[in-house]
Chains A and B, each alone.
Chain A
Amino acid sequence: MASIHTERETLAYGGASAGLSSRWAVARSTLALAFRSIIVFVTVFFLATLLTFALQGLSGLSPAHLQLSESATPEAIAALEHEWGLDLPLWQQYLNWFGGIVQGDLGRSWYNGADISLLLTSRAAISLSIAGLALLIGVTLGAVLGITAAKFQTTWIDRAITTFTTFVSVLPPFVVGIGLVAIFAVWLNWFPSAGYVPLDRGGLGPWLSHIWLPSLALSMEAVADIARQLRVGLIQASRENYVTGALVRGLSSERIFWGHVLRNGSGPALTMLGMKFPNLIGGAVVTEAVFGLAGYGRFAADSASRGDVPAVQGVLVLAIVLVVAFNLLVNLLLVRLSPASARGI
């Protein structure tokens, strides 16, 4: 039998009968929640950029390694570093850099002095096309598999999907990539195995055929995770009492599933999506290597091996901005889906 006395009930009882003051309390708590979320995201952004900035200090590298020869004099090194503003105190360097970021200026490359933001723009188009398509595939295919598995629970369909997702989720993305290349590019020759064609150059067809395989490879992990979480979430939601309640009131099972269960059960899957998004962004490094693409992943790897610190930092900042923005969106969606948990009660 149910426990009778909960703090929650007591508070709610007092609140609900208070009438108007309860409306005000609700509005205040929503505002407080929005405020708290923003603070969290700002803090995360701040800490992440700090960690990224720390790379430079920890690496002990300087533009001298890239631009001057081995026999450069200490004076020449010092002069170069002064030119780059590296003799300023660390906190000042950080603030300058951070200030630039907020305005969209990611600094200049130590390798060739070029504007990093510019360098990244063209490359980002490639990586983000792939990541975007991968996200789309991940969400759509993941949702389809997850919903199907939940609806046909315990039948062979469910077991097949579950086996598939378990198997796929353990595959390293580059393994999937290699497999896809081997089968579809080399053996069947349906898709090109490398390279990229921008949308404006060749139109939709060539663009898609080039990014299709890498996106698929990148999306597999997300597909498996979303499918699994959605299945679990939906099954759990369908066992809740409110399903019985709705049934008894005369709503059809279909309506209950699509209108209530799906809405409540997709919370865990959404949370997982927010958590795994960085993997989607970061996986570019590997997929670009497998498929020979000149995206920001490749750029990061090359810059890293050259010791071009600002360039690497630039890529990281771009990734951080994307992740934080995406998570904000996911959070907003979650609040819409389950207001109770959002109010922190």
Chain B
Amino acid sequence: MTAEIIDRLQITAAIEREGEPVLRLDGVNIRNQITGKDVVRGISFTLKKGKVVGIVGESGSGKTLTCRAVLGILPELFSVSGGTIDLLGHDVLSLEPKQWTQLRGTSITAVFQDPGSYLNPSMKVGAQIAEVIRTKRGVTRQEAKQRTLELLADVRLRDPELVYGQYPFELSGGMLQRVLIAAAISLGPKILIADEVTTALDVTVQAEVLDLLADLKERHGLSLIVVSHDLAVVAQICDEVLVLRDGEVVERGATAEVLRRPKHGYTRLLIGEHHLYGLERFLDAKPTTPKPRLVDSRPILIRAEGVCVSYDSSTSRRQALKDATFVLRQGESIGVIGETGSGKSTLARALIGLVTPGAGQISIAGEDITGFSAARWRDFRKRGIIQYVFQDPLRSLDPEVTIADTLAEPLLLQGMLSKSEIRDRIYFRLDQVRLQPNLLNRFPGELSGGQRQRIAVARALVTEPKVLILDEPVSALDSANRVQILEILNSLRANGTSLMFISHDLGSVAGVTERVMVLYRGSIVETAATDDVVNRPGHLYTRLLVGSGPTVTSIGSIDRRSRQALREQLEAAS
């Protein structure tokens, strides 16, 4: 007994010294019990005190499974079939549930994507954090509450007292993530795993969260594991990077090294995508003088003037869109950028008639659609001039209807073509989105996410629309599918279709648009050519946006202090 204790003490002392390994994985294999196959093979890495390791990979690469193995929460179907995991001197694979309960929270912890779902929806968030402190540290309720308030202030929440008494559904995504981080560090763990924590957040909020993590690391001496599918996010704060593909580590090394001199083809692919379709495309380019304004003589397809939309709920009235004025010309491709609540979705919905503006005028293809009745909307929509692609490919396709019927629906509603003409049209568009005709008899549930989104695009194209509005079309997809869709969109541009690309991610937008509108809190704050917006941002918000965007190069991204300054200026101004 005594020998064990001495051993433990020695190990702990060793760990307290800077740079000592706190976590070591050696040749870890994780097996899927049902198929019997090892889905993760031979993962090894060492995490040292005060350092940050990043794990990059697509969905299915095994990054989340690895994290779960380290935490001891692998799903029932999976188990570690080989290798060792050493956590602060403990052999993870031989731990009993009681020991795990002791280790978690105090030594190692995690935060995940979709933070709201990781909190009990029927308890106030403050109480949930206090509960952990109370039960594990044995302090009084008062002391636990005090400590919780300190933590909430630590994660830079503006009004800790208020947030303490709120329920998860009352908080935004960014605030929830901070609450979760506060909960995670409440017991002073040595290791924090951040699994895709920024994926569902707006770019500016994303930068805030990453800044916060970096700050906490320095102040508390935390060791971090940051997991993401986006190499750029990892590049922001990690000292070392591991690239995972299909369950294996294909590349590892210091972040700067891996980014500058990638050895594996896959890594090069990931970096290349950023240069093709990300901010880097504009940032890398040699600085040019702003192009002289040419007179655009293309016919106007959409004209909006002074459009205002407000949402009235039982408790408040909220101005979602204020005085929106812009034009979209034939063949033009325009991006609409903004964060959650900026009004960009509202703008799109106003254009297609899903919400009625309180003021202003909108005309599409020369027809004034303001104040259309339901019946007139139906007639107008049947003409198929303007079409819409939803964000979520799973929900926008009827699961009980075959792909063929889904694609045919808009044409059947039009009622103008014969069956064989419809068939030809479908085949053509299917080919345009690079899918095979054998998918026609299948149901959406049998297709992958990328395929489904391409079907959604094809459906929007069957009526040969002049304008295609896409609301976050690639946000729910992983890298490979994202690139495919963006390429398809570019080919559509080449064929003369006008695009309106709505997103919170300037990176994807930059890849397919020639002009960008920036929305902030319901107003259009800047409209300029994409190149100008990226390289010479004017408005405060645009500058913050571009400066927050994670990139794989060091150009363009501004440092933490500048970001903080910009945020404060923005708050003061509005």
- Chain B residue contacts of A264, Cβ below 8 A: 120-122
Whether, in the assembled complex, B563 has its beta carbon less than 8 Å from a beta carbon of chain A, the answer is no
User: Restricting to A331-345, which residues have a CB under 8 Å from any CB of B?
Assistant: 337-340, 343, 345
Seen from chain A, the residues whose Cβ lies within 8 Å of a Cβ on chain B are 1-5, 8-17, 19, 22-23, 25-26, 28-29, 32, 240-242, 244-253, 255, 259-260, 263-264, 337-340, 343, 345
Please determine whether A16 and B472 come into contact, CB atoms closer than 8 angstroms: no
Whether, in the assembled complex, B436 has its beta carbon less than 8 Å from a beta carbon of chain A, the answer is no
Please determine whether A246 and B475 come into contact, CB atoms closer than 8 angstroms: no
CB-CB nearest in chain A for B449: A1
- Chain B residue contacts of A340, Cβ below 8 A: 121-122, 167-169
- Chain B residue contacts of A32, Cβ below 8 A: 314
Report the Cα distance A26→B200, complex, angstroms. Answer: 27
- Chain B residue contacts of A16, Cβ below 8 A: 162-163, 166, 170-172, 175
Please determine whether B314 and A29 come into contact, CB atoms closer than 8 angstroms: yes
Report the Cα distance A45→B526, complex, angstroms. Answer: 59
- Chain A residue contacts of B201, Cβ below 8 A: 4
User: Restricting to B18-73, which residues have a CB under 8 Å from any CB of A?
Assistant: 71, 73
Please determine whether A22 and B167 come into contact, CB atoms closer than 8 angstroms: no
Given contacts A19-B162, A248-B104, A263-B122, is CB(A14)–CB(B171) below 8 Å?
no
Query: Contact flags (1/0) for B156-196 with A, using CB distance below 8 Å?
Result: 00110011001111111101000010011011000000001
CB-CB nearest in chain A for B395: A3
- Chain B residue contacts of A249, Cβ below 8 A: 104-105, 109, 132, 183-184, 186-187
Seen from chain B, the residues whose Cβ lies within 8 Å of a Cβ on chain A are 71, 73, 97, 101-106, 109-110, 112-114, 117-123, 128, 131-132, 135-136, 158-159, 162-163, 166-173, 175, 180, 183-184, 186-187, 196, 199-202, 311, 313-316, 318, 340-341, 345, 391-392, 472, 475-478, 504
Interchain pairs with CB closer than 8 A, number: 149
Main secondary structure of the interface of B (DSSP, over half): loop
Report the Cα distance A292→B572, complex, angstroms. Answer: 80
Please determine whether A251 and B131 come into contact, CB atoms closer than 8 angstroms: yes
Report the Cα distance A65→B184, complex, angstroms. Answer: 77
Please determine whether B169 and A345 come into contact, CB atoms closer than 8 angstroms: yes
Please determine whether B173 and A9 come into contact, CB atoms closer than 8 angstroms: yes
CB-CB nearest in chain A for B122: A338
Main secondary structure of the interface of A (DSSP, over half): helix
CB-CB nearest in chain B for A13: B172
Given contacts A14-B341, A16-B171, A241-B112, is CB(A251)–CB(B135) below 8 Å?
yes
In the complex, which of the residues A25, A246, A253 contacts B316, with contact meaning CB atoms closer than 8 Å? Answer: A25
In the complex, which of the residues A3, A250, A260, A345 contacts B391, with contact meaning CB atoms closer than 8 Å? Answer: A3
In the complex, which of the residues A29, A250, A252 contacts B187, with contact meaning CB atoms closer than 8 Å? Answer: A250
A14 to chain B, nearest CB (A): 6
- Chain B residue contacts of A248, Cβ below 8 A: 71, 73, 104-105, 109-110, 184
CB-CB nearest in chain A for B521: A14
In the complex, which of the residues B119, B136, B170, B478 contacts A12, with contact meaning CB atoms closer than 8 Å? Answer: B170
In the complex, which of the residues B112, B170, B504 contacts A4, with contact meaning CB atoms closer than 8 Å? Answer: B504
Please determine whether A245 and B112 come into contact, CB atoms closer than 8 angstroms: yes
In the complex, which of the residues A5, A19, A250, A338 contacts B121, with contact meaning CB atoms closer than 8 Å? Answer: A338
A331 to chain B, nearest CB (A): 15
Please determine whether B104 and A250 come into contact, CB atoms closer than 8 angstroms: yes
8 tightest A-B CB contacts, nearest first? A250-B105, A245-B118, A13-B172, A241-B117, A10-B341, A2-B200, A338-B122, A250-B104
B345 to chain A, nearest CB (A): 6
